């Protein structure tokens, strides 16, 4: 461990502390080797409670040691470097103990209260308050008169025995607003000043999202996020994290469709893709996304169903020499007809509304000049659009009824069907088994060509 005063690395503490730690290690060895067979449920619950209490006491000791290290580092650093010392202390906990940043910050904050007199310090040292509980209490009521603050701390310490840190934080903010509205308002302003959110691309082609929001800003984010959470369809098993990622994608889809965001270079924000003509024809290869880079053409199939397309012709050196007028792959009239017929996602068991959906090509794909029309298109949400485009399914349209059949290895449809809920009738459509698909279009006879695709649902 690093000595905060002199930078010296040591493996052992003072002899008397080492002796106590050796005793603790021996006790833990015996406890770890104990058999819990035969204990009743009530006994196991009591055992868990006592273990948690002792873990809390150890956490308080860790916070006390952290505070001592910080005091020595502060004394060595001198005045005016308190903020730097705090950051160095947090970094120590992250490097030496592999603590996550949030826990390291709470430990440093808890260390300053670990030896404080009164109910808060007592509750932390005897394991009744966790570091997270202590952090909540320490942040509340800084501007209250001492006697009022002490009463509030005692009340919150008692409530911490029944509430988790999030619920305790709600109670603490409510009580502060009742006792001192002006102090509560200042506390809100301090939290709002700590707001942050960042999105960064990663080396594996992903995007990492990190941040913290407060107040009304946080409430808006939670409301929008949960509005797009959806239950799993039959046969689908997603983790909570997967559902969250899908919800965020659906939220972004609607935001991009709304047309209310500020324009970029004269156009509303849109997903931009560069795709060689040959890759479009073969429906394979690699395309390029503006922010995250390479992506397989197979992953772009849902986007190709509903996009604005423009052609960029390149010369032999890769210099653009011609840019064509952009055209839509989904006519506005067809989009309205699909809204009226399907009403939302047509996959069985999915209740995603139309605003979350895309127009999916049926059995004749875009690369074979399959036109999006009522007998070759249906509404699918993003995840079911990807599932359909991945292959193994055929779209069957019978009037206002859309269903999906598994495709047998030989190419024919199997007997298993996945029907959708029928929407309002708009007129008869033809089954998707129509005429044989046309031959793929020939590439343009120019030195080179690439297509730019913009997401632009109707």
In a domain, 173, yes or no: no
| Whole-number Å distance between alpha carbons of 140 and 178 | 12
Strands 307-314 vs 327-328: parallel, antiparallel or unpaired: antiparallel
Domain identity same for 75 and 217 = no
Domain identity same for 450 and 411 = no
| Whole-number Å distance between alpha carbons of 134 and 250 | 38
Domain identity same for 305 and 447 = yes
Range of the domain at 209: 195-222
- Number of separate domains in the chain: 4
In a domain, 169, yes or no: no
Domain identity same for 81 and 99 = yes
**Full pLDDT tens readout for the chain, 458 residues:** 444 444 444 556 678 888 998 999 999 999 888 888 888 999 999 999 899 889 989 988 998 899 899 888 888 887 777 788 888 999 999 998 898 888 888 888 888 777 777 788 888 888 888 888 988 888 887 788 988 988 998 999 999 989 999 999 999 999 999 999 998 999 899 989 999 999 988 888 889 999 999 999 999 999 999 988 888 877 778 898 999 998 998 888 888 877 777 765 556 677 778 878 777 777 788 888 878 888 888 888 777 766 666 666 666 665 555 555 555 566 667 777 787 788 888 988 888 887 778 888 776 655 555 566 778 888 888 888 888 887 788 888 888 888 888 887 555 544 444 444 433 333 333 333 333 333 334 334 333 344 444 444 33
Which residue, of 72, 104, 139, is where some domain finishes?
A: 139
H helix or E strand, kind and range, residue 402 = strand 401-407
Name the β-bridge partners of 211. Answer: 197
DSSP 297-352: GGGGHHHHHSEEEEEEEE-TTS-EEEEPPPEESS-HHHHHHHHHHH-B--STT---
């Amino acid at each position: 461990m690093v000595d905060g005063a002199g930078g010296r690395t040591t493996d052992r503490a003072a002899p008397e502390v080492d002796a106590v730690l050796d005793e603790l290690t021996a006790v833990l060895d015996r406890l770890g080797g104990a058999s819990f067979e035969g204990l009743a449920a009530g006994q196991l619950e009591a055992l868990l409670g006592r273990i948690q209490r002792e873990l809390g006491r150890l956490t308080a000791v860790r916070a006390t040691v952290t505070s001592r290290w910080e005091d020595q580092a502060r004394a060595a650093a001198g005045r005016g470097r308190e903020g730097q010392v705090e950051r160095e202390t947090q970094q120590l906990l992250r490097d030496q103990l592999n603590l996550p940043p949030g826990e390291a910050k709470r430990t440093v904050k808890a260390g300053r209260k670990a030896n404080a007199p009164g109910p808060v310090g007592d509750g932390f040292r005897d394991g009744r308050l966790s570091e997270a509980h202590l952090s909540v209490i320490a942040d509340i009521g800084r501007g209250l008169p001492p006697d009022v603050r002490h009463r509030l701390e005692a009340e919150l310490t008692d409530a911490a025995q029944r509430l988790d840190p999030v619920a305790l934080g709600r109670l603490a903010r409510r009580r502060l607003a009742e006792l001192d509205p002006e102090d509560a308002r200042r506390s809100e302003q301090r939290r709002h000043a700590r707001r942050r959110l960042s999105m960064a691309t990663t080396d594996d082609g992903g995007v990492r999202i990190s941040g913290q929001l407060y107040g009304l800003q946080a409430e808006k984010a939670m409301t929008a996020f949960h509005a797009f959470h959806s239950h799993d369809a039959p046969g689908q098993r997603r983790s909570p994290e997967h559902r969250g990622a899908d919800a965020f994608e659906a939220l972004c889809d609607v935001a991009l469709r709304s047309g209310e965001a500020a324009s970029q270079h004269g156009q509303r924000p849109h997903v931009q893709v560069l795709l060689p003509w040959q890759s479009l024809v073969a429906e394979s290869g690699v395309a390029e996304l503006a922010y995250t880079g390479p992506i397989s053409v197979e992953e772009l199939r849902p986007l190709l169903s509903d996009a604005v397309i423009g052609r960029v012709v390149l010369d032999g050196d890769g210099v653009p020499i011609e840019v064509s007028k952009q055209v839509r792959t989904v006519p506005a009239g067809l989009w309205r007809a699909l809204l009226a017929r399907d009403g939302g996602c047509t996959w069985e068991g999915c209740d995603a509304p139309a605003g979350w959906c895309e127009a999916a090509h049926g059995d004749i794909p875009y690369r074979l000049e399959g036109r999006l029309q009522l007998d070759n298109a249906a509404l699918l949400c993003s995840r079911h659009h990807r599932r359909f485009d991945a292959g193994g399914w055929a779209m069957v349209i019978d009037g206002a009824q859309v269903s999906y059949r598994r495709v047998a290895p030989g190419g024919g449809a199997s007997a298993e069907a996945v029907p959708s809920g029928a929407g309002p009738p708009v007129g008869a459509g033809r089954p998707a088994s129509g005429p044989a698909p046309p031959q793929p279009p020939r590439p343009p006879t120019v030195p080179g060509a690439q297509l730019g695709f913009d997401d632009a649902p109707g």
